[in-house]
Amino acid sequence: MKLFKIRGGVHPDDRKKLSANKAIEPMPMPKLLRIPLQQHIGAPAEPVVRKGDKVLKGQLLADSKSVISAAVHAPTSGQIMAIGNYMAPHPSGLPIRTITLKPDHDDRWIELPAEVDPFTLTLDEIVKRVADAGIVGMGGATFPSAVKLGLRKRYELHTLVLNGAECEPYLTCDDRLMREQADDILDGIRIMMHALQVEQALIAIENNKPEALAAMREASSGFNKIKVINVPTRYPMGSEKHLVQTLTGKETPARALTADIGIVVHNVATAHAVHDAVRFGRPLISRVVTVSGGAIQQPRNLHVLIGTPVQDLLDYCGGFLEQPSHILSGGPMMGHPIPDTKVPVIKGFNGVIALTAKETAIRPPMPCIRCANCVTACPCGLVPLEMAARARNGDLQGAVDLGLMDCIACGSCAYVCPAHVPLVQYFNYAKGELTLRQRAEHKQAETKRLAEQRAVRIEHQKKAKREAMMRRRQEAARKKAAAQTTETEV
């Protein structure tokens, strides 16, 4: 199949060898699980259990009450110890609503429905099963998958793309899943194709994963509408829009969805979760996580219950060879610093990467030398040096005019910058500031709207009072006139 070249991109040392040959191992049961109610894009789930309740594995703990949200389930059987705030697995470390579950070590499932043939279900029934299972994009995007599977109602879709690129250095969890559970992933892909009613599926795997390519090719042989495509190893190949462009040559317009050009993209681990949910009724309560980096004693790929503390994963991998300079969730290009190793693994966590000072090689920034390396590396066709200059000078609108909102924060520009200008930090700062300003403007507009509504309401009340008084006066006058008439007649 012909592939299309995308602009920009970089070739960081992928360091996948550290964990690529480590088969997926189940983690021992943790002492406590902390299960955040917001592990996805959208509104947090609402608890349906109380402190003290005993729950079974797979039982619903919190339900999604909004269109964009995802349900949360018990990863094992045990008792609810608390429903309160706990440190978020996010760089801010700010507290978020979290359910604490103490495992009883029986690991007893709820009564699961009998296995069904997904192809006998209606399209809406499939989408509902995916929503009920609380599945979100497992490549890190965490967008509720049921919403994406429902896109056929609004868009003319023809292709499902499966993202098995895993272009971030160090991460090997998708690679191992494809090697070890290719048949289950393929079943999930067929179910998603059916739900989306698309003509074909393209499974994209970078050419640095030959075993995964072979496993997926073998699993898909006999399904002529499903093709496994060997894509070049080039970061950020796993970016949704760039992957679509590589496979089809079609560019997704700025701030549009790939669905606008008829294509839906899901991660291969999401396809695996869809197989579990639709065929067997099993909710999303665990995932595969790569624990790697130069500071890790024994890098591994672990099958982890959602809510397991990051510290348990580090301990299981033998702790540190040396004190890491950074511990990240996700890869080193787009991952986020973990605020504390007590934070739990959530549905979008694909890696815990502990990097040594040598690996991060942070050097002091110097003035920009206008070499334009960052321009050449940007896969989105932006001019990072100019955007950063605007952001640094507080000219946020100027940065927006240059395409700040199209920046996918891939870090390619910063990776090639010889002056070590912290370009992505400028972009993240500017985006954060813009969000705060938008929120403040929204709040101001909302306050004004409420004040106007109140003024209108008070005016209505005054008018109603005046009218009532007028009516009472008229009634009194009418009665008085009637009484005078009666007196005259008498």
Give the binding site for ligand SF4 (CB under 6 A).
368-374, 377-378, 380, 382, 384-385, 407-413, 416-419, 421, 423-424, 427
Give the integer Cα–Cα distance in Å for 220 and 367. 52
Q: How far is the CB of 445 from ligand SF4 (least distance, A)?
A: 30
Q: How far is the CB of 375 from ligand SF4 (least distance, A)?
A: 7
Q: Toward ligand SF4, which CB reaches closer, 2 or 363?
A: 363
Q: How far is the CB of 399 from ligand SF4 (least distance, A)?
A: 10
Q: How far is the CB of 32 from ligand SF4 (least distance, A)?
A: 37
- The distance of Cα 136 from the centroid of its chain, to the nearest Å, equals 7
Q: How far is the CB of 389 from ligand SF4 (least distance, A)?
A: 9
Pair type for strands 46-47 and 60-63: antiparallel
DSSP per-residue codes, 122-152: -HHHHHHHHHHTT-B-TTTT--BHHHHHGGG
SS3 337: strand
Q: How far is the CB of 165 from ligand SF4 (least distance, A)?
A: 16
Q: Which CA distances in Å does 233 have to 10, 11, 22, 53, 285?
A: 9, 8, 21, 49, 31
Q: Toward ligand SF4, which CB reaches closer, 38 or 246?
A: 246
Q: Toward ligand SF4, which CB reaches closer, 19 or 373?
A: 373
Q: Toward ligand SF4, which CB reaches closer, 110 or 375?
A: 375
Q: Toward ligand SF4, which CB reaches closer, 235 or 349?
A: 235
SS3 303: strand
Q: Toward ligand SF4, which CB reaches closer, 157 or 237?
A: 237
Q: Toward ligand SF4, which CB reaches closer, 170 or 427?
A: 427
Q: How far is the CB of 234 from ligand SF4 (least distance, A)?
A: 13
Q: Toward ligand SF4, which CB reaches closer, 79 or 376?
A: 376
Give kind and range of the element (H or E) at residue 410: none
Spatial CB neighbours of 152, under 8 Å, sequence gap ≥ 6: 123, 195, 196, 197
Q: Toward ligand SF4, which CB reaches closer, 349 or 427?
A: 427
- The distance of Cα 260 from the centroid of its chain, to the nearest Å, equals 20
Give the integer Cα–Cα distance in Å for 80 and 102. 6
The owner of tokens 């909710």 is: 283
Q: Which CA distances in Å does 476 have to 466, 473, 480, 489?
A: 15, 5, 6, 20
Q: Which CA distances in Å does 460 have to 117, 373, 463, 464, 467?
A: 60, 64, 5, 6, 10
Q: Toward ligand SF4, which CB reaches closer, 123 or 409?
A: 409
Q: How far is the CB of 407 from ligand SF4 (least distance, A)?
A: 3
Helices 182-196, 173-180: axis angle to 10 degrees equals 100
Q: How far is the CB of 378 from ligand SF4 (least distance, A)?
A: 3
Q: How far is the CB of 68 from ligand SF4 (least distance, A)?
A: 25
Q: How far is the CB of 6 from ligand SF4 (least distance, A)?
A: 12
CA angle, 405 then 409 then 411, to 5°: 140
Q: Toward ligand SF4, which CB reaches closer, 6 or 310?
A: 6
Pair type for strands 33-36 and 72-73: unpaired
Nearest to 64 by CA among 17, 133, 13, 1: 133
SS3 462: helix
DSSP per-residue codes, 142-211: --BHHHHHGGGGTS---EEEEEE---STT--HHHHHHHH-HHHHHHHHHHHHHHHT-SEEEEEEETT-HH
Give the integer Cα–Cα distance in Å for 248 and 262. 11
